[in-house]
Each structure stands twice: as C-alpha cells, then as structure tokens.
Structure 1
C-alpha cells in the first residue's frame, strides 16, 4: 500500500485514477481546486490551487506521500491572448518541482504533459523537439522544459493523447453525445488511424509507470491504447451502442464550407461551434504514435476497444 498525491484528481483522468488507486487500497489524496466529480471520494479531497505554493506545501507536509501524479492543469484551448492564461501549466509546474525537490522520501513523480506539445501533423525527431499549435500546447511545452531543467527527483513525463471514457468532457463527450443524437458525420472516404486512449486503460498505464523499477523506464511516454484505432470503425461501434446502424458520411467539399463558417462563428464569440477548420483537419489527419516502449512496460491492456465503448455508452446513459 502506497501514499499517493494526485493533483487534479477532480478532473477527467484524475477522477478515474483516484477511484482506481482507492480500489487497490492505496492511501490517496486528491489536491484540486474543484470539488470531486464522484461524491464517494470527497473524503480524499484537499481543496487547493497549485498556483498557491503555501497550500501545496502544506498538503505535502501533512500527507507525506510516497508517490505523486501531477495531472492538475488548465486544459481548454480557449485562451488566445497570452500564455499567462495557462499559468497553472507553467508556474504551477514550477511550484510542484520545487516542493517535490524538498521531499526526498517521494519515490517517483509522474508529470502529465500533452500530445499537443506538437501539432497533429508534425512528427518530432525526439522528445526535445516541439511544435505546439496553440497557447495551450506552448504552455505544456514550457512545463516539460521546466521539469527537465529543475527536477532533482525521480520523474517520468507522460503525454496523454486523445483520452475518452467515463467522466469525460469536451471534445470526446461531445463526440459521443453527437453520435447519440444522430448528428455525427465523417468526411467521405477519409478513414484515418488514431492513437486514442480509453481512460481505464490510461489509469492502468499510469499505475504501471508509477511503480515500475527505474531501470525499465524511459523519461517520456505517449499515453494511448494500442494498436491505433480506425476512426470509422470506432464511430460505428459507438453508433451501434445507441441503436444506430453506422456513421453518416458527408462529402469533403461540404465539410470544408461548414468548417469555414465555424471559423467565422468562433471569431464572433462562439467558443465551441460544431465544426471548425482546426477540428476538420484533426478529423482527417492520421495521428499515430510509437508505443513500443509503452507496450514493453504495460503489456496487454485490460480493456478492448469494444469493451471501452460499451462501458462509456453505459455511463452516458446513466448520466
């Protein structure tokens, strides 16, 4: 049994991770500014802000953890003006590093970054090669660089790809809800491969990385299911869970016009139009990451794609 602090444990991945580690009888603290999504785990919650170093230090001092999983972050893509809007991803990471450096008892820390440190169509030559597409991605890049420069403790960096499942929010909850309402579509004759991850496989991977002997680990991993899924196959699976035969396909020329209209609506102030050029490009672009090192550590994943879809659809029907 280990003592584990999870920052951001009230978020999507964090909610699932708190539940998972508690089910394994670990002692878990969720340090988060927000109330837990699952009321069952309010008893594990310490309210605090990672930008408040005093609050953070107090939590570490009181709990004296063996392990840390740092998930707390601002994750939306809405900030357009200044990187300062993502201070949680830069200054918050710096606070974490400085505090964990003061606790030599901590055996390992996982820092969650993001696949968006590189744009979707950019293939980096290594984990020090960055090409962020927006301020969010830039903030995560800065966070990674701070860890590499200042962390004097055992750590592993993870880059979650596109993770989906119970407790999710925009954009993948929107995807499931849109399928359910028979409003989802794919560009005709475009069936890209995607490195996506079912969240219960993600928490399994985080557990493996957290407790694996140091000599078996690399410094950075993309978190994703393997092998990559076929977007059409996945959307058809989701459709069938809601009694729909298959995914609607629309000619690309129509979608390009609709996406340009979405761009205009976004500029006019609508934060989340159904389709924009950015989203359309993401939809049609292959997004596949090398998972050999991840597979070596984690082995076979506990949930198949079909099982993940069934669990998620069932959760949505109940919530």
Structure 2
C-alpha cells in the first residue's frame, strides 16, 4: 500500500503510458518524480520532470542520491520494431541494467516494476508460454526486452520486483495512432480481410495504469517475482475496429474477400522490393489474420480494470482527440474546427 512516506521514481514518464500514469498519480496525490530525456507533453507535468537518460548512470545516481525513492517504475524504452540490430536498443538492455544496478545500490527501494512487452513470446503453434521465463522473442525489440527480463530475474535483487508486459496499448496521448490507424479509419480507407475472428489483447491505457497502481498498492508477498500481462480481456479485433468506425463515422467497417487482400499484399511485397512503400504487404496481412492474445485474466482477477466498456473507452479517446489532443494533429484539428 502506498503511504505518505513513499517516493516513486518513474523512468520514461513523458511517453504515452507515462503521461497517463502521471495523470493518475497526480489525482491520487502521490509523491513522485519522472526521469526522461524528453520534456512531458502535458505542461502540468513539467514540474515533476528531471531531464536525464537511463543509459547514463550519472543521471540515475543524481536523482537517487537526492530523492531516495522507495518505489521504482521503469517505463523508459525504445519501443519501435524498426531495427534488426540489438545495439540500437541499448536503452532496453544497458539502460535497464543500469536501473537494476542503481536499485541494488540503494536499500531505500522496496519495490521495482520493470516494464517489458508481449513481444518476448510469440508462437503460432503454442500461444502461451508454459512459464514466465519461457521466451520466443518477436522482433529485435522483443529480444531486447527478453534480455531485460533475464537480467531482472538473475540479478539477486534485495527488494521485491515485478515484471509487467503491456499488450497492444491505445488511448489518449497515443501520438502515433491519430496519424495512422485512426486517421485511416476516419477517412474510410481501411478494409478488413475477413469476418473470421482474429483474437487480440488490447490494453486501454487507463485500464493499464489502473493495473500498475493496483500492483504497487498490493501486498509484496503477492506481487514479488511475478510477471503480469497488462490489458483488457482478449476480443475479436473486428469488434474493436467496428466500434472505432461507428463512433468516428457512424458507419460500418468495410470487408474484402481474403483472397483479394492476399493478392494485394503480394503486390505490396513486389513494390517494397523496388523501394516503393505500400500500405498492405504480406507481413501486415498475416498480422491482420492471426490470433495473438495474452493471459490478462490473471491480472484482471487481481487488479481489475478502470472501465471494461469498449464503447466508453473509445468515446473517451475521441473526446481527447477533440480536446486536449487536437492541437497535436493537423488532420483532427481541421476536422474538429480548432484554429
């Protein structure tokens, strides 16, 4: 249970998840500080920010020596999948090792939360790992997080530690989806290749931050040396997409026969070899077709969600697009008439 004596140190709090987590912590009146190399997006969060990089041990030492945190929530990471060179993910490997080392040095820390990803395990034949430390990493990003998890498990930490694996996170302050998927849906350009279910695990960001808050308030005997997938219960991806189209456009999701979409994807592959970008290619097509879901039921049983209603959560995100978020995105600014 968080008390008035607790001091929470967050890394990467200026990012998508961190922005929402800090919103929650501000409402709860927690004592916290955010170390990030980037300034917070929200101006009311700047007073909690310290500029620094987790790859630089001196930056961590500076904060720990002054602040003496009792809880550490490690969010900072490179999260894209663009590179195949593990060296490009030094924030996830060396940076995370630095977090572990500084926590081991300071006995004031009683609980460490290490943020991983669902990408540490992906198998088309065996959908779930049989144990927490079974890995089939997907992409180099997933490999970097596997390394982070193994470092955590083998570090002989004296404090309690918990690993969390966010699912496919969405919601307010996501700075990529408004320019990509949600924009494509709003323009009516998106077509779905099948009505066959493709089950996915989504994580509405405010449900995810609710779960993190539950973990840091839980009995340490329950959460110590545990791994939790963060997110909502798995659903057919069509339901998620259909809800977005309904609320954005008041219309229905468009479908196309699978064989046509597959042919378009092959054509996209050909264009790709010529250096021409095309929105559909075989990897993306296969991702649209396949199941990929996580065992979030364990997390939800213990910590619940803020709101399980998909319609409410989409509505809340669109209200953010119309309000606080609108000035960041020219397309939505034009649509909603903000000058």
Q: TM-score, normalised by structure 1?
A: 0.93
| Equivalent residue in structure 1 for 2:172, among 166, 174, 189 | 166
Shift of 1:171: 5.2
Work out whether residues 207 and 307 of structure 2, in 8 Å CA contact, stay in contact via their aligned partners in 1.
Answer: yes
Q: Distance in 1 between matches of 2:118 and 2:26?
A: 28
Work out whether residues 232 and 305 of structure 2, in 8 Å CA contact, stay in contact via their aligned partners in 1.
Answer: no
Do the aligned partners of residues 12 and 125 (structure 1) sit closer, same or farther apart at CA in structure 2, a change above 3 Å counting? same
Do the aligned partners of residues 30 and 269 (structure 1) sit closer, same or farther apart at CA in structure 2, a change above 3 Å counting? farther
Q: Distance in 2 between matches of 1:27 and 1:51?
A: 24
Q: What are the residue-to-residue correspondences of 1:154-303 with 2, within 5 Å?
A: 154-170=160-176, 174-217=180-223, 219-226=226-233, 228-264=234-270, 266=272, 273-303=278-308
Q: Distance in 2 between matches of 1:34 and 1:151?
A: 31
* Partner residue in 1 for 2:65: 61
Q: TM-score, normalised by structure 2?
A: 0.87
User: Could you tell which deviates more after superposition, 291-300 or 67-76?
Assistant: 291-300
Work out whether residues 97 and 151 of structure 1, in 8 Å CA contact, stay in contact via their aligned partners in 2.
Answer: no
User: Paired residues, what number?
Assistant: 316
* Partner residue in 2 for 1:114: 117
Shift of 1:254: 2.3
* Partner residue in 1 for 2:330: none
Q: Distance in 2 between matches of 1:26 and 1:107?
A: 16
Shift of 1:29: 1.0
Which structure's CA Rg is the greater one? 2
Q: Distance in 2 between matches of 1:273 and 1:79?
A: 19
SS at 1:202 equivalent:
helix
Q: Distance in 2 between matches of 1:262 and 1:38?
A: 39
Shift of 1:293: 2.3
Q: Does 2:34 align with 1:30? A: yes
* Partner residue in 2 for 1:135: 140
Shift of 1:12: 0.6
Which runs of 5 or more residues in structure 2 are unaligned?
327-339
SS at 2:249 equivalent:
coil
Which runs of 5 or more residues in structure 1 are unaligned?
none
Q: Distance in 2 between matches of 1:268 and 1:44?
A: 48
Shift of 1:193: 1.8
User: RMSD of the TM alignment (CA)?
Assistant: 1.9
